[in-house]
Amino acid sequence: MSLKIENLTANIGDREILKGLSLEIPKGQVHAIMGKNGSGKSTLAKILAGHPDYEVKGGTATMDGLDLFAMEEPDERSRAGLFVAFQYPMEIPGVTIANFIRAALQARLPEGEELDAVEYYEHLYRQMDALKIDRKFTSRAVNEGFSGGEKKRCEVLQMAMLNPVYAVLDETDSGLDIDALKIVSDGVNAMRSTERGFLVITHYQRLLDYIVPDVVHVMVDGRIVLSGDKTLAHKLEAEGYDWVEKQQPALA
């Protein structure tokens, strides 16, 4: 049981961004992808989510054997158990967080079945309390006027509510101060389980001190070029990415 990506190539317009990426995240593990800006990390997250601007040219992605790319609409992938926390979450004017998450949960119920409103709010408030999000946020429009940290906490809140099988966190640490980073990391760690896999995409090693990964991958120019344990993250932090690129003459 895993989230498995094999030889994935993908474009935005005519530009090839992913150039044969392979990666397998077994259920129960946390994997991290590190890489420089422009290496294609965020593209991977958006492609898995099904962003319409990107075109998959080749390769496969499966979730516990389920063909992700056979599900054309992003909402199908989400309901099948995939969650992507975005680097830049969208603002949705006039749609409150409570109504937004409620609609997302309602969409997971069979036709004709109604979400129990009381249970829903209890659940929502519990998760908000855990993430130290003021309960007043339920009536605020999704991400509108939120600080960077509030947006990221709101992404983690959505993840906690939607209870995915695989979660991809794209630069969830960017824009967070140290307190917010701890809160967000606690939220993620609380969800670690043998029944769930995580892919944590980050630019900095700092996040991985809080969300300790089982495996660290290094991405260069649209491919995974090196994988190792958590000490790889420390080495990258100390020595930068140049030595990785030098080891990969074919990519120069």
Partner 1 sequence: MTTLTEHPTPASSAWPAWFQTAQSDALAEYDRLPPPVRKDEAWRFANLQALDLSAFVEAPPVASEGRLINASIGLNETAAKLILGNNALLHRESTALPEGVIFETLESAATHHADLFRRFFMAQPVELGSHKFAALHKARLAGGAFLYVPANTSVALPIEIFQWAEGRHTSVFPHTLIVCGENSRVTVVDYFKSADHLPAFACGVNDLHLERGAKLTYIAVQDWSRETTAVHLNSTIVGRDATSTALIANFGGGYVRGESLSRLVGEGARSEMYSINPVEGTREIDQRTLQDHVAPHATSDLLYLNALDDKSRTIFAGLIKVQPGAKGTDAYQKVKNLILSDDADPNSMPGLEILNDEVRCSHGATNGPVSAEELFYMAARGIPKDKARRLVVNGFFNSLLERLEDDALRAHLESLLAARLAIT
Contacting residues toward partner 1, per CB under 8 A: 49-52, 73-75, 77-79, 84, 86, 89-90, 92-96, 99-101, 103-104, 107-108, 141, 158, 162
Cα–Cα distance measured from residue 240 to residue 181, given in angstroms and rounded to the nearest whole number? 22
We find the least distance from the C-beta atom of residue 152 to partner 1, in angstroms, to be 14
We find the least distance from the C-beta atom of residue 238 to partner 1, in angstroms, to be 35
Cα–Cα distance measured from residue 250 to residue 252, given in angstroms and rounded to the nearest whole number? 6
Cα–Cα distance measured from residue 229 to residue 222, given in angstroms and rounded to the nearest whole number? 21
CB closer to partner 1 out of 73 and 177? 73
We find the least distance from the C-beta atom of residue 90 to partner 1, in angstroms, to be 4
Which amino acid type is present at position 68? L
CB closer to partner 1 out of 108 and 126? 108
We find the least distance from the C-beta atom of residue 74 to partner 1, in angstroms, to be 4
**Angle ∠(44,149,94) on CA atoms, nearest 5:** 90
CA separation, residue 245 to residues 21, 66, 205, 220, 223 (Å): 16, 34, 18, 7, 12
CB closer to partner 1 out of 115 and 251? 115
CB closer to partner 1 out of 93 and 110? 93
Which residues lie closer than 8 Å to 139 by C-beta, 6 or more apart?
Answer: 96, 97, 98
We find the least distance from the C-beta atom of residue 251 to partner 1, in angstroms, to be 31
CB closer to partner 1 out of 14 and 114? 114
